[in-house]
Amino acid sequence: SYDNDDDSDWDEADEMEGEASTVLCLFCTSTFPSPEHVFQHCASEHNFDIISLSWKFKCDCLYYIGLINYIREHRPDPEYILRYDDTGSPWDEAPWKDSKYLRPFLQDDMLLTYDIEGLKDCSDLSNSVVVSREEYQQLQSRLLSAEETIKDMRKTAAVFLQDGPTSISSFPTVGSLRVEEDEPYFESYAHFGIHHEMLMDAPRTEAYRDAMKMNAKSSIEGKIVLDVGCGTGILSMFAAECGAKEVFGVDQSEIAYSALGIVRENNLEKKVSILKGRLEDVDLPHDEVDIIVSEWMGYFLLFEGMMDTVLYARDKYLKPGGLILPDICNMFLVALNDTAIHGKLVKCWDNMWGFKMNCMKQEVVTEAQVTSVPPEGVCSKPVIIKTLDLNTCNPADCNFSAEFDLEITGAATEITALVGYFDCHFSLPSPVILSTSPHAKPTHWQQTVFLFEKPIAVTAGALIHGSIDCRRDPRRRRELSVTISVNDHRYPSYHLR
């Protein structure tokens, strides 16, 4: 879990060049020194001219503030805003008119201080603009400044692309968060409940046990093992039982103290050492380890961002030719036709105790749902949207885009959602696969469901073309934002929080 209202998330913006007044773009992670720079960037890069939009619909300051906060929170595609009036819904009844969007979504958001009403007396600038010489010089200066900013951004991007996998320091990893910023995450793992759930997840725990047990002689015996995010120490103890020479379990959560007792209770303290602290901050007694084992996967694989820590361990401690368990992960999408899930979460708002609450659907469908999907509801062949090889990938790979074609199977006439899941491979002489597919044994990860407000009509054998864009939230680095397009229709972003 993570505190969505934690204002410390914005401290990272304060650290950028010592400028606490940078302004974040509405649609990407670019930052600028003023609202005017953001408006110019949005118009040129995202085809979203908020000034013209405000004039067109005669927005007052409250309407403008609501629109800014709505975009900040939901990250819709610019076209969704621009074409809202084309949907037949009255512009003055748009979802951002809700009074809840008058509360700032971001602390110290300078866009909210912009005097949009001060522009009311301006003429139609699509034809001509009359400004004083002083204003003209100021505009020239701003344009030059924006051009220099873009040049700097392009240089930074070029360096990152040239450096490839080794340039992980340029990506905002969870390891760069201050301990106090990340404390809510680690506190969520201090309670026994989450560990009970994971330990009782038989497919998950058996996969790790079997991978080590079936490959003990060839891969584990006599090796030095690092267990990243060891929790109760179960994987560390599996490694010790399979003949590892030494095992080091590391965890920042208070559960590390329980792990110490568990190791002693099982008389494994001579082989297993538990270190309390973040991996980025602790010092191992060895410069290199032979094996890294970790159960780092979150919902939709990448939620929680723990992959960053495993990759940090790889780069700092793993000897050349060493093993990462698991090492290959695939992310999948399938189509779903399940009126029960859709009815329970979406259609139910058509009639709540005799009242229509359709506006609530927009809130529901922007939250990715983690639930168990009945296998009989799956109505397409699976497609792989991302493969991660932990031997070579870097943290920036959690941001990705992919196109897909889903072939509809069976007699489905509509799809109510897309479903994401993953599998993990232990690439060993006797390989093991851990799957979270709807067709596999259920796990605590379940599946991640991206609901559609309105089901999409399909026919058997049809190909559904789409794209998916997965991004780490720039302010809450352990969270994800996922944008999906199907048949040229782009849906508002889904969030995993």
Catalytic residue among 73, 246, 280, 295: 295
Residue corresponding to tokens 């979406």? 346
Burial class (CB in 10 A: 0-12, 13-18, 19+), 167: middle
Q: Give the single-character DSSP code of 479.
A: -
Distance CA 143, CA 137 (A): 10
* 305, 398 contact by CB (below 8 A): yes
Q: Which of 98, 95, 91, 101 is nearest to 56 (CA)?
A: 91
**Cβ proximity of 320 and 288 under 8 Å:** no
Choose, from 73, 181, 304, 479, the residue flagged as catalytic.
304
Q: What share of the chain is helix, strand, coil (3-state, %, to 5)?
A: 40, 25, 35
Q: At what angle do helices 234-241 and 202-214 cross, to 10 degrees?
A: 30
Token pair in block for residue 342: 């859709």
**Hey, how many other C-beta atoms are within 10 angstroms of the C-beta on 58?**
11
Q: Do 214 and 428 form a contact (C-beta atoms < 8 A)?
A: yes
The residues with which 273 forms a beta bridge, in sequence order, are 248
Distances in Å between the Cα of 305 and the Cα atoms of 158, 291, 332, 471, 472 are 25, 21, 18, 11, 8
Report the C-alpha gap between 398 and 387 in whole angstroms. Answer: 10
Packing angle of the helix pair 255-265, 234-241 (nearest 10 deg): 30
- Rounded CA separation 296/324 (Å): 12
What letter does residue 372 receive in the DSSP assignment? P
d(CA 212, CA 239): 7
Half-sphere exposure in the Cβ direction for 456 (13 Å, CA)? 25
Asked about 304 being catalytic, the answer comes back as yes
Catalytic residue at 180? no
Produce one character per residue of 64-79: b if its CB has 16 or more CB atoms within 10 Å, e if not: bbbbbbbbbbbbbbbe
Which of 80, 79, 107 shows the shortest CA–CA distance to 95? 80
Tokens 């997840």 identify what position? 201
User: Which amino acid, residue 378?
Assistant: V
CA angle 59, 61, 64 (to 5 degrees): 60
Residues with catalytic roles: 295, 304
